[in-house]
Amino acid sequence: MGEFLKILIVDDDGADRKMLRRMVVKSSLAGKVHECEDAAQALDLIAPEMDVVFLDNRLPGVEGVTIVEKLMKKWPKSAVILVSGQGDAIVAKTAIKRGAIDYISKRDLNQNAVERMMKVSVETARMRWMVDQQRQELMMFSSILVHDFRAPIAAISSLAEMLSDSLQNGDTDTVQEDLAYLQKSTRQMSELVDSLAAHLRYDGDAEMSNVPVRDVIDRALTALSLTISDSDAEIEIDIPAADDSNLTCNPPQISQLLQNLVANAIKFCPGQQPKLRISVIAQQNPEALLISIADNGIGVPEHFREKMFEPFQRLGTVSEIPGSGLGLATCRKIAERHSGFIWCKDTKGNGAEICLLLPRDPLSPSAGHLKSPKTCVRHKTRSGVPEGQTLN
């Protein structure tokens, strides 16, 4: 498997926890190991991801099998393995039905069994999660076909009839107008297909490399050079010292994420010169890096700040501000692929600020332990003042 796993052991018996922990730590897969004495501790544990959960069935006041679904809701990618003092086929069946990957009695626990279960269960859990994600994507795709394609198809059909009438009547002026509307409708459909393809593209594993953050920012801005020029956008970039601003990531994906955010920021500054500030902010946690993009646009209402990262959520109608409603959803998908977080900061009505928190190395054992923050935390560079550059 070639990685270190995040393990949780939930058992009220200290001796049993110690025995299982010893087996887990001796395996070639173990990374950070957490321990909890009861269900409440496990459900309250602050950890964004957990790869394997060894769950004792006899916990104080509750059977472990009854909290499997809650654990799966908390950590959808995790492999829950129910552990029981006595083998029970009915309990095992119930646990699997509720989402557990495997079941083992304590008398059957040994080093080889633990290592085998961890490896197989994690692969199974991740495959199940991917299948579920693909099922949701297919449902989303069918929704697009029914909803978002219906309007432009109807428009094209109507325009085709109008074109036919205009041609029969020799009305060349109307023909030109109808052709312009026809081109606009087909362009909208093409943009929707491109957005959907981009959203679905980021489902598989991607090659990671260590690059300066400035490189991925420059890549995004180069792709948007025409948009920046046409809108006369002013973009200021603040980056800390070069040795503090490297990131292990998939550069094309992170560049695409930043490209979406910058394009959005420019788009939502109607009637004024867009002014953006891209900041790379060192964190108190040396293994994390925060990138924020602030603008002077119309801002985001508080009730929409969570919803805006879901597919097909738009701030305004397509006629007011064009878009597929997939750009920010794609950003969130890319952030999650890098074990990161993305959110919209409250700017008190002064434009919008999108924050992206990423582990410097998403493949490290500690990457899954980044906490989801509520606000952007700013820290000065070593010199005390961030570097600045303005692009016009």
pLDDT digits (tens, 9 = 90+) for 71-109: 999 999 999 999 987 767 888 889 999 999 999 999 899
pLDDT one-digit tens code per residue, 129-144: 888 877 877 776 666 6
pLDDT at 203 exceeding the cut of 70: no
Q: Are residues 383 and 308 in the same domain?
A: yes
Average pLDDT, the chain: 81
Quickly state the pLDDT bin for 188 (edges 50, 70, 90). low
| pLDDT given at position 21 | 93
Helix (H, G, I), strand (E, B) or coil at 274: coil
Dihedral sign for Cα atoms in the order 225, 228, 230, 234: negative
Q: Are residues 233 and 373 in the same domain?
A: yes
Contact 32, 369 (CB under 8 A): yes
Residue 355 domain flag: yes
pLDDT at 66 exceeding the cut of 60: yes
Q: Are residues 27 and 165 in the same domain?
A: no
Residue 140 domain flag: no
Q: What is the pTM of this model?
A: 0.58
Question: How many distinct structural domains can be found in the chain?
Answer: 3
Quickly state the pLDDT bin for 283 (edges 50, 70, 90). confident
Q: Are residues 220 and 354 in the same domain?
A: yes
CA 153 and chain centroid, separation: 32
Residue 161 domain flag: yes
Q: What is the CATH number of the domain that holds 380?
A: 3.30.565.10
Q: Are residues 85 and 13 in the same domain?
A: yes
Q: Are residues 221 and 270 in the same domain?
A: yes
Residue 337 domain flag: yes
Q: At what angle do helices 111-146 and 172-201 cross, to 10 degrees?
A: 170
| pLDDT > 70: percent of the chain | 80
Q: Please, what's the largest Cα pairwise distance for the chain?
A: 91
Stretch among 103-112, 194-203, 288-297 having the lowest mean pLDDT:
194-203
In the predicted model, what is the mean pLDDT of residues 283-297?
Answer: 87
| pLDDT given at position 298 | 87
Q: What are phi and psi of 219, to 5 degrees?
A: -65, -40
| pLDDT given at position 386 | 34
Residue 139 domain flag: no
Q: Are residues 242 and 371 in the same domain?
A: yes
pLDDT one-digit tens code per residue, 244-265: 678 899 888 898 899 999 999 9
| pLDDT given at position 153 | 75
Q: Are residues 182 and 299 in the same domain?
A: no
Residue 82 domain flag: yes
Report which of residues 263 and 205 the model is more confident about: 263
How many whole angstroms separate alpha carbon 292 and alpha carbon 343? 10
| pLDDT > 90: percent of the chain | 34
Which residue, 177, 201, 225, sits at the end of a domain? 201
Q: What is the CATH number of the domain that holds 50?
A: 3.40.50.2300
pLDDT at 234 exceeding the cut of 90: yes
In the predicted model, what is the mean pLDDT of residues 222-228?
Answer: 87
pLDDT at 389 exceeding the cut of 50: no
Quickly state the pLDDT bin for 7 (edges 50, 70, 90). very high
| pLDDT given at position 371 | 65
Contact 210, 247 (CB under 8 A): yes
Quote the domain boundaries for residue 329.
204-391
Residue 138 domain flag: no
Q: Are residues 353 and 223 in the same domain?
A: yes
Contacts of 240 (CB under 8 A, 6+ apart): 280, 281, 282, 381, 382, 386, 387
Burial class (CB in 10 A: 0-12, 13-18, 19+), 66: middle
Stretch among 234-238, 326-330, 344-348 having the lowest mean pLDDT:
344-348
pLDDT at 372 exceeding the cut of 80: no
Query: Cα–Cα distances in Å, from 290 out to 77, 147, 332?
Result: 25, 37, 15
Q: Are residues 211 and 163 in the same domain?
A: no
Q: Are residues 187 and 212 in the same domain?
A: no
In the predicted model, what is the mean pLDDT of residues 352-379?
Answer: 70
Residue 372 domain flag: yes
Q: Are residues 158 and 271 in the same domain?
A: no
Q: Which one, of 249, 229, 321, 330, lies nearest residue 291 by Cα?
A: 249
